[in-house]
Amino acid sequence: GPVAETFRVIQGAMTEEYVRSTQGVFQFELSGDGGGTWYIDLKTKGGSAGFGKPPVTADVVMSMSSADFVKMFTGKLKPTLAFMSGKLRIKGNMALAIKLEKML
């Protein structure tokens, strides 16, 4: 589905430089089609992304619908706007959440 495809793209776009400059683990709690728990690990060497809980404890947990997640990662929904309008809930390290937004 679109969520799995988005995570495949994220995994493919990861570089050592992103991992070095971000140093954060992001967990996504997605509702709706293709939802569930997903993660992006930008802390462990090489980085990783995929379905399930991250290999280490997440620094940031983001909750949103899977449809909004796909829109956000395809540039159709600004993360700041999603957050302000209540479509995106963020728990944890806000500074890291902003770093992830820059990566998008």
pTM for this predicted structure: 0.94
- Identity (one letter) of the amino acid at 102? K
Q: DSSP label at 102?
A: H
- pLDDT digit string, tens, across residues 39-63: 999 999 999 999 999 999 999 999 9
Burial class (CB in 10 A: 0-12, 13-18, 19+), 64: buried
Question: What mean pLDDT is predicted for residues 88-97?
Answer: 96
Q: What is the pLDDT of residue 44?
A: 93
Residue 87 pLDDT level (bands cut at 50, 70, 90) = very high
Contacts of 30 (CB under 8 A, 6+ apart): 3, 36, 37, 38, 63, 64, 65, 66, 69
Any idea where the domains of the chain sit in the sequence? Answer: 2-102
Neighbours of 62 (CB within 10 A): 24
| Record: fold of 2-102 | Nonspecific Lipid-transfer Protein; Chain A (3.30.1050)
Residue 102 pLDDT level (bands cut at 50, 70, 90) = confident
**Is the Cα torsion angle 58, 7, 85, 98 positive or negative in sign?**
positive
Question: What mean pLDDT is predicted for residues 55-82?
Answer: 95
